Structure 1
């Protein structure tokens, strides 16, 4: 596969971009390691930058995005990169063509009442659905992502096809004023809606998410334990960042994905928190909470991912508090590997999640 190399002096050429409160954290997250795979470049272009422009509106303009992509990735964006959003679930036929078993899944969009307004969500189910269900939250650095990203849509289709109904919930992002507690309250509204409507009598409801969505899910589990509602039967966290600052890397000889540095993680989390006080709030960041009494947890980390340190430390914290925890490492992957439906590693993670929920 073709390698994509970036200049070692790229930071010197970015100037004010790295200081931009909205674009800076995402820009750092988008930077590829030297020798990064071309498929990772495609993911950054197709899933992050395009959605950022769509989500951030006037705060992050088309001209800013074009300049960013030109400087960082050496790509000239065209009109197709700024096309109107596709209809909900528009990529489903292509996914079914590649994965025919997904054809048995039905889904519908719903709007859930939340304290800040309607919360977009999508309900997935198949004819063989059982009594175990999942509320799933996509990632996106608290600034991007939506119900149509593969990390939301494809993951939900795959799990529903395996008999696990899924409510995939969106949430308000930082560019739209979505600082804590607004995104957490959106996810809480989706959780309460699911408790009332989604689970048959005697069923079990799990909570989970990926990356920033995993951070929201884990922190909500702390809120639920502390009285906000019924706790989930289990917690599923894919490549989570649950600490306000990035813990030190625990592995040796690992080709860490350098796109997430301690500074970029702190900037991203500070933008989500909205204040220094919230950076110390365990209801915003589960990694600084007393985790005793948390639900059983599955953590699936990407191998080449600096955020892996947060997932590993959180697993240690849960284990020390006698919380059942399974820590899995998907070899050969970069952060966000659930966004690649064609990847064997992504399929393996889906099987891990489905098998764990089915226990």
Structure 2
């Protein structure tokens, strides 16, 4: 189907990108300027900023408690932003919606970003926060059941990579992985997937922009051939936690997400792939106010209620 009319109207109002190289500082400031004031955000029982003290260092985290209860399942969330954008603030609304709809306590990780922090700093932070959450179950009132990882776009890259890292080190507490429009193959050959050609221009994220937007991360030492950078390149997917992979019809990254789901299924890992029609990349962050797309959070809740 065509791009959703509300998305098309929003994209038509965006100014052309400024000429010259990308400026991380200016782009981050522009993102932060769009964050709504606290009184306009979805209310929850509590939202707390704290520090996760981990072997990777001190990682800022924001903990979202949906309701007053004795115990909760946990969801550790990694925001997107091409590894150099995004923050606890810019994705605060996503974490709030996840907490409200799933009923889980959400721990959002403020990991280090490129280019200031070279690979694998951000990935190490994300991995460490998952271990921290499990080790601090008493403080978080974890009920010892669900421990999910979730992320959108590059945050989905981290979620998939963290699930693999945990499996390889014998940490078997992660019960689910949720990947929203994930970036799973950072080899940006435009002929690798049909969606890179079909959705190359006009849908927000454009194929020609993938290399420059990810250059800060790749130039910091992230090798696209490394399965921790491009999770789809992992040879053996057996033993990973069940996955919900959400893709968008008009996303250049659509096909790599769907291929990853098929490969997980072939490896005996339960994988649910949901393609959202009329949507483009980043709809979970930018357009989940549209009812047809807000249901992604209810679908996530239903997936997380399933037991592996």
User: Shorter chain as normaliser: what TM range?
Assistant: 0.7 to 0.9
Q: 2:244 aligns with which of 295, 298, 320?
A: 298
Whether contact under 8 Å (1:237, 1:299) holds in the other structure is yes
Aligned match of 1:196: 135
User: More displaced, 244-253 or 180-189?
Assistant: 244-253
Aligned residues: 285
Structure 1 residues 255 and 181: alpha-carbon distance in aligned structure 2, compared to 1, 3 A threshold: closer
Distance 2:155 2:222 in 1: 21
Aligned match of 1:248: 193
Correspondences of 1:1-359 after superposition (within 5 Å): 37-40=8-11, 56-57=24-25, 91-96=37-42, 103-114=43-54, 117-129=57-69, 131-149=72-90, 152-162=91-101, 163-177=103-117, 179-197=118-136, 198=140, 200-227=142-169, 229-246=171-188, 247-249=192-194, 260=205, 264-269=209-214, 271-274=216-219, 278-289=223-234, 290-339=236-285, 340-359=287-306
SS of residue paired to 1:171: coil
Aligned match of 2:3: none
Distance 2:153 2:202 in 1: 14
Distance 1:192 1:123 in 2: 15
Structure 1 residues 265 and 350: alpha-carbon distance in aligned structure 2, compared to 1, 3 A threshold: same
Aligned match of 1:8: none
Distance 1:84 1:300 in 2: 24
Structure (1/2) with the larger helix percentage: 1
Distance 2:243 2:202 in 1: 24
Task: Give the C-alpha shift of residue 227 in structure 1.
Answer: 0.5
Whether contact under 8 Å (2:242, 2:269) holds in the other structure is yes
SS of residue paired to 2:295: helix
Higher relative contact order (CA 8 A, sep 6+): 2
Q: Which consecutive residues of structure 1, in runs of 5 or more, have no partner in the other structure?
A: 1-34, 46-51, 66-80, 97-102
SS of residue paired to 1:338: helix
Distance 2:156 2:270 in 1: 17
Task: Give the C-alpha shift of residue 240 in structure 1.
Answer: 0.3
Aligned match of 2:19: none
Structure 1 residues 144 and 251: alpha-carbon distance in aligned structure 2, compared to 1, 3 A threshold: closer
Aligned match of 1:11: none
User: More displaced, 123-132 or 328-337?
Assistant: 123-132
Distance 1:321 1:82 in 2: 42
Structure 1 residues 276 and 181: alpha-carbon distance in aligned structure 2, compared to 1, 3 A threshold: closer
Distance 1:270 1:85 in 2: 22
Whether contact under 8 Å (2:47, 2:62) holds in the other structure is yes
Whether contact under 8 Å (1:147, 1:153) holds in the other structure is yes
User: More displaced, 213-222 or 273-282?
Assistant: 273-282
Whether contact under 8 Å (2:54, 2:132) holds in the other structure is no
Distance 1:329 1:354 in 2: 17
Q: TM-score, normalized by length of structure 1?
A: 0.70
Task: Give the C-alpha shift of residue 352 in structure 1.
Answer: 0.9
Distance 1:275 1:228 in 2: 28
Whether contact under 8 Å (2:187, 2:225) holds in the other structure is no
